Amino acid sequence: MTVPQPPEPIPGARLLFSLDPSVSHLNHGSFGAVPIVVQRAQQRLRDEMEANPLRFFTQGLVDRITHTRRHLAAFLGADPDGTALVGNATTGVAVVLQSLGLRPGEEVLTTDHGYGAVAFSVERECRRTGAVSRTLPVPLNATDEEVIEIIRSGLRPGRTRLLVVDQITSPTARLFPVAAIVGVAREQGVPVLVDGAHAPGMLPTTVASVGADFWVGNLHKWAYAPRGTAALVVAEPWRERIQPLVVSWEQDSGFPTRVEWQATLDYTPWLAAPAGLFNLRTLGVDRVRAHNAALAAYGQRVVGDALGVAPSHLPEPGGPTVSMRLIPLPPGVATTLDAARALRARIADRLAAEVAVAAWNGRGWLRLCGQVYNTPDEYDRLAVRLPTLLAQR
């Protein structure tokens, strides 16, 4: 089988970012990268704030946040009255968990593809309330039908108080059939929280079409917003039950304002986020999605070939616009969290390449992303040099 052809570059896209050109930035999924025009938009807002802080915070800021929220919700395909801006997806998860009122004997159900910090949040809330956290193992190569059946079989109506499932999994770069999962859970009366951290900007799916009780997603990854910009979307029956992690002066305003207003929080990332969407639309949303997914697929194949991984053993992400790909590392490499972190640092230091390395189910995995600032030769260089580095362990 031949290596897939890389996509044609988007002219000038690399120049939109202030990334260090001596480094191959192949891990957009972790922290994103903010275009220069968006950085400047945020800096203008910061300048405005610092020129007169009292005026900035007390005259019209709530209305500006509301206007921004409506703009971002429209992009997501979400009800703006059911959408609250939060700092990141993990914060949104914590808001939902502490608003549920879990009780002893109830359980929160997750899969083993979940994000680590979300798992920590679930475990903490269960310890605090006496509830139980239970994790369903899902094989990496499971079909959508198998994923749905695993979750259907794992639900315990009357006991499972919440199902947390990823739209795109962080450690395994897998697209889950979340709309179908939500339907199965609804049949059994189990609310669903969809962790869509990577969805905004990457997937064409609208939040409304997912139909979850709760949905969280970051706009600072694939939608070019400043870091600290995410959305928590809550179905109408739950909105009055949602409480902020910290109570502040808009508490009596109800959802979503009571969640958004945190007094002297820096709101400039949110207010500058529409500039990120403008940048994405200027490049062409569909064009960017197709480019990034094709480039990630190219990187997976060339690096996989270099490591001796047969194409049939390279995990498929499950969707044509998923811009992250997974490559299994040799047996015994990066099989623990500490070892994965150490390998990621070695690759960064010695190969000048930023990648993600995860230990999942007893094996180390390399995750590569594709973004408009990347070029095929960056993956080619990693493919040439990585086997030698791994042999030196």
> pLDDT tens-digit profile of 131-174?
999 999 999 999 999 999 999 999 999 999 999 999 999 999 99
Are 342 and 381 in contact, with CB atoms under 8 Å apart?
Answer: no
Residue 1 pLDDT exceeds 60: no
Residue 4: pLDDT band (50, 70, 90) is: confident
Mean pLDDT (the chain, rounded): 96
pLDDT tens digits, 78-101: 999 999 999 999 999 999 999 999
**Structure pTM?**
0.96
Buried b (16+ CB within 10 A) or exposed e, 262-276: beeeebbbbbbbbbb
Higher pLDDT, 392 or 288: 288
pLDDT tens digits, 229-280: 999 999 999 999 999 999 999 999 999 999 999 989 999 999 999 999 999 9
Residue 219 pLDDT exceeds 60: yes
Residue 206 pLDDT exceeds 80: yes
Nearest to 370 by CA among 357, 358, 356, 360: 356
Percent of the chain exceeding pLDDT 90 equals 97
Are 203 and 321 in contact, with CB atoms under 8 Å apart?
Answer: yes
Predicted local confidence at residue 393, as pLDDT? 65
Going by DSSP bridges, is the β-strand pair 24-25/83-86 parallel, antiparallel, or unpaired? unpaired
